[in-house]
Structure 1
């Protein structure tokens, strides 16, 4: 049976709210400086946040999270992701996937100079890319076992922006990192997926169960920070598609129902205030395969995402080629 999915690209936007906490500032020696423990924890933390973006997952394809205000380490986080994957063909069962993601993390550090302390707001911008190659082992006509090798690259840059007037000409490796510093990271790991495809003329059912384990580590970065993180997650995704009865572009207009549940393990667990996320969605799919165009199907799906301390809505757009 030939898969009807083709290569799929998915983009979604989700607004969420979560509780966040940060370590209190520590005493410092003379000179303007940050607590090394504070900065190092943030370096590990930003890699843990990056780990959400390197694994394809509908529940985290875009997040916007805000923390409370204050001057002792508050932060805001935004992430969006574009990704897709598919098997080349039944005769060449090589599976390829890719994910591009960008995020912005706005931590506030507390710098000390003797008895004086002051909040320093920063902006950390990151980009990451993940590739995967796997092989489909056919268990039945509708069930495949798919091991995948994954490799990821990411970069985080820091900018003091508004706080640069205060830092001025002060030097120090920790301050240097905050002002246009850089943290590069690579990740190696893999995933194991069970893919069930039950296609009939009147409806289509897709179910995927996936476990991913990718280890992130910094390299060639600013001297003040070296970080590492483990991206581990288990995800169940299911989709049901069936005709609505309407005809558009000479093909049936179909409705789409989705369900996704993700359990976050390793360093992802609890870093954003939750251990798991669930998403339920509904939408429509337009079939343009009757025409000589590169896009064969277009899906628009609205989703409700919820978990401990977090909930929100999203709108996802996906196309098949």
Structure 2
């Protein structure tokens, strides 16, 4: 698809880490009609409000980055909230887009859609081939439903609704809450506070041996716009009607121990790293197969150390506004 900078684009979830990165990317490319709406002006759980908003605005494109997200503890504590709110947000936006003749939509999912014991690296074909990770199953099922919503509107109504599934994301506007954050923001915060206190040791849960893949959110935004802008013929040649989602990642992973050492360097922590093997490790490895995305002409460009420095700089400069409570 040729880039049309005067298209009217709605980014749902613009205050989140991914949505804000997509807005930055679109602005950098020269898009001039980017529309956003915070919770104070639009409740995405309200079907009638979403319908009225779409009817009034007449969008050309929609990026569906809005979601209720959280770490393992939050997913365990509030499973009903996670499945209900995500299902409603997705259904309301996709249906409103269709009814108001929006032909281009990009849905952002999560790598947790894949089975807990999926072969590594995880290919798109692994979807629905096994049991999900129990701790975030409600969230994962909602995200799978989002993929199938897009596929179903494409099949029945001829829409062009696409889906991208990112690996573990990090970067500016991340969540640094002590209980609900993911591994990178959690470690960045802990190392930062350890340096401030002058600690000479930092204890990390688990053995440090599990391997994880991490993608800077600016790379995720670049990939999202790239997939949205792909010519139909190229996109269709690399996807299938019933397998339309595309993995987004670096294709490179590292151990949690290696990640911790890099974060220690980035934050200036010079003390001892101790791994508490009595605490759970989780899955031994989670790596995305990104060959389909590479065939579509995109690959990540921000290496982990540079990305961590960028994320840490943002945290230090925005610690008062960062989601830390």
Higher share of residues assigned helix: 2
Higher share of residues assigned strand: 1
Fold shared per TM-score above 0.5: no
Superposition TM-score, scaled by structure 1 size: 0.28
Superposition TM-score, scaled by structure 2 size: 0.28
Q: Point out the structure with max Rg over C-alpha.
A: 1
